[in-house]
């Protein structure tokens, strides 16, 4: 297993941000009942923390430090905490000595979602992306998967020698994996036990599926009135399309985005990533969960967040809806430009590479004209006013294209930067990985993966100054945490073996 550059075994490279140390697949935060419940002691009988565990009374969770760390302590409401042994951070970066000093000398605040437990029932990207974002800021995320198969995302994308895809390793970060057949009454009963002490459930099945299995919203709310449930589906929980299957590509089409993508007069094309609506919906889902948790903390009542994939697309169509309402105009594909500004598009440079230039007002165009050493282009009688440029769009774009074609991309970007003109390279993924700004911002992180050495993934966003998020591990092996989680619920080895034999787990 390869560690991050300059770190010890298992160190994670955060581009100079933070480095946290721990074993490759350490035991994660607690997955059993809340501290103080009859089974919360994990079978030790006294209610005291088991060796190697940290109890968080304020958050209601028992949390396990990394295997071999053995640190025990207690973190009360004020956040004072125990110290991990051997100078290592506990797996959730929550195990702290008084004064907020992590064992080993570094200071770190408790992550903002520490103590929040998320049950991720969903598949592919949308709702699981919400769960992953919550996990990056301290939530304990238990990924619940079908026995023997797992989340289809494990097989979607570029496969690895481990058997999972690179998409899975990146997007299932920081999650524990529990296999559980919810179609079996024993599986749904175990899920209800987990949900009774959980904070959030994320799901993206077709409406009515969880209800059919006896684990729908009303079933779970009766057990846990404080529960928050995120439900992402193709079209939402109601309406005439509710039962239709949906994926991101369909959401782009139905939500109005695909119609805008492509060249005028040509066929609609994929608007960038085929998964864009999934990620957008995951972001809206995360906002919804945080709002619902805020409401829950104020009132004691949980609620449902209902989101259709197409709705996330519809929401970001800028002025299209009010323009149609007021004028009847239907915007079509605009190619590399836009109807609202000029020059505002993509231009090829002398070395065959491309840049984006965006002059959204007259001042910006005047700056570009000076950079091009043709300040007269911005004269009021020439192309200075926006209305003149829009009326002569092809001519203006042609002038800019001729200028960029005379010099390499690096020179175009540099000259525009000196002239305060908005301009950026149209990067490939190879450009991004090598970009000094991306490196300086710590936008990429390297995670250890058994059998692969390590894998480079997007780092945590957003960046918080006092409580930055963290990456603990890449997507887990299917069922890696099943036994530990079921044991935390009080199941004996023979019971777990029987469930495995019957393919309940």
Contacts of 495 (CB under 8 A, 6+ apart): 486
Q: Taking the alpha carbons of 461, 120, 228, 109 in that order, is the dihedral positive or negative?
A: negative
Catalytic status, residue 278: yes
| Cα–Cα nearest to 94, from 143, 140, 36, 46 | 140
3 state DSSP class of 226:
coil
Beta strand 175-179 pairing with 200-203: unpaired
Nearest alpha-carbon partner for 74 in 59, 88, 86: 59
Map tokens 């709310």 to a residue. Answer: 221
- CB atoms under 10 Å from CB of 350, counted, come to 13
CB distance 15 to 443 below 8 Å: yes
Nearest to 380 by CA among 391, 366, 401, 400: 366
The neighbouring-strand residues paired with 233 are: 308
Task: Give the sheet arrangement for strand 61-64, strand by strand.
Answer: 61-64, 53-56, 73-74
For the chain, how far is it from start to end, CA to CA, in angstroms? 29
Q: Which two tokens stand for residue 275?
A: 């998964």
DSSP-derived pairing of the beta strands 423-425 and 354-358? antiparallel
**φ and ψ at residue 46, rounded to 5 degrees:** -95, -15
What's the CA gap between 229 and 235, in Å, rounded?
17
Q: DSSP secondary-structure letter at 46?
A: S
Two tokens, residue 41 = 């002691």
- Active-site annotation holder among 278, 297, 362, 394: 278
Across 49-121, where does the E strand assignment appear? 53-56, 61-64, 73-74, 117-120
User: Which of the 8 DSSP states describes residue 73?
Assistant: E
Query: Is the Cα torsion angle 36, 37, 43, 46 positive or negative in sign?
Result: positive
Query: Cα angle at 205 between 260 and 131, to 5 degrees?
Result: 80
Handedness of CA 167, 171, 177, 180 (dihedral sign): negative
CA-CA distance, 488 to 186, in Å (whole number)? 17
355 in Cβ contact with 404 (< 8 Å) = yes
DSSP letter assigned to residue 375:
G
Which sign does the torsion angle of CA 90, 94, 95, 96 carry?
Answer: positive
| Separation of alpha carbons 98 and 107, rounded Å | 11
Cα(282)–Cα(309) distance, integer angstroms: 9
Q: Which residues are catalytic?
A: 278
């Amino acid at each position: 297993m390869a560690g991050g550059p300059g770190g010890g075994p298992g160190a994670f490279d955060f581009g100079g941000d933070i480095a946290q140390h721990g074993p490759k697949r350490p035991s994660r935060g607690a997955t059993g009942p809340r501290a103080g419940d009859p089974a919360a002691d994990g079978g030790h009988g006294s209610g005291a923390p088991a060796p190697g565990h940290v109890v968080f009374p304020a958050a209601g969770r028992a949390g396990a430090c990394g295997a071999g760390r053995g640190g025990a302590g207690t973190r009360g409401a004020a956040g004072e905490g125990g110290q991990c042994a051997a100078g290592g951070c506990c797996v959730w970066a929550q195990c702290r000595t008084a004064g907020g000093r992590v064992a080993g000398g570094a200071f770190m605040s408790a992550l903002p979602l520490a103590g929040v437990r998320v049950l991720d029932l969903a598949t592919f990207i949308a709702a699981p992306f919400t769960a992953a974002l919550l996990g990056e800021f301290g939530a304990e995320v238990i990924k619940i998967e079908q026995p023997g198969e797992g989340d289809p995302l494990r097989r979607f994308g570029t496969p690895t020698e481990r058997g999972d895809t690179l998409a899975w390793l990146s997007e299932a970060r920081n999650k524990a994996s529990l296999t559980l057949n919810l179609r079996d009454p024993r599986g749904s009963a175990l899920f209800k036990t987990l949900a009774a002490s959980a904070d959030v459930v994320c799901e993206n099945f077709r409406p009515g599926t969880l209800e059919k299995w006896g684990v729908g919203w009303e079933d779970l709310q009766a057990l846990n009135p404080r529960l928050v449930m995120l439900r992402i589906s193709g079209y939402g929980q109601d309406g005439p399309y509710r039962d239709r299957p949906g994926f991101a590509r369909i959401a782009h089409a139905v939500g109005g985005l695909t119609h805008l993508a492509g060249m005028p007069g040509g066929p609609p094309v994929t608007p960038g990533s085929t998964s864009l609506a999934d990620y957008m919906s995951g972001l809206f889902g995360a906002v919804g969960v945080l709002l619902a948790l805020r409401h829950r903390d104020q009132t004691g009542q949980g609620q449902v967040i209902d989101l259709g994939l197409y709705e996330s697309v519809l929401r970001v169509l800028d002025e299209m809806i009010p323009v149609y309402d007021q004028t009847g105009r239907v915007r079509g594909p605009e190619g590399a430009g836009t109807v609202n500004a000029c020059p505002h598009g993509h231009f090829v440079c002398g070395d065959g590479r491309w840049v984006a230039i965006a002059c959204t007002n007259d001042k910006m165009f005047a700056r570009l004209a000076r950079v091009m050493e043709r300040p007269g282009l911005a004269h009021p009688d020439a192309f200075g006013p926006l209305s003149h440029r829009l009326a002569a769009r092809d001519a203006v774009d042609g002038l800019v294209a001729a200028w960029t074609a005379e010099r390499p991309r690096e020179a175009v970007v540099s000259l525009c930067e000196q002239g305060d003109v908005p301009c950026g390279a149209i990067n490939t993924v190879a450009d991004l990985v090598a970009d000094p700004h991306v490196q300086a911002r710590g936008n990429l992180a390297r995670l250890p993966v058994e059998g692969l050495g390590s894998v480079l993934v997007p780092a945590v966003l957003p960046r918080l100054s006092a409580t930055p998020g963290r990456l603990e591990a890449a997507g887990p092996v299917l069922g890696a945490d099943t036994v530990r989680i079921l044991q935390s619920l009080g199941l004996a080895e023979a019971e777990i073996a029987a469930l495995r034999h019957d393919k309940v787990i």
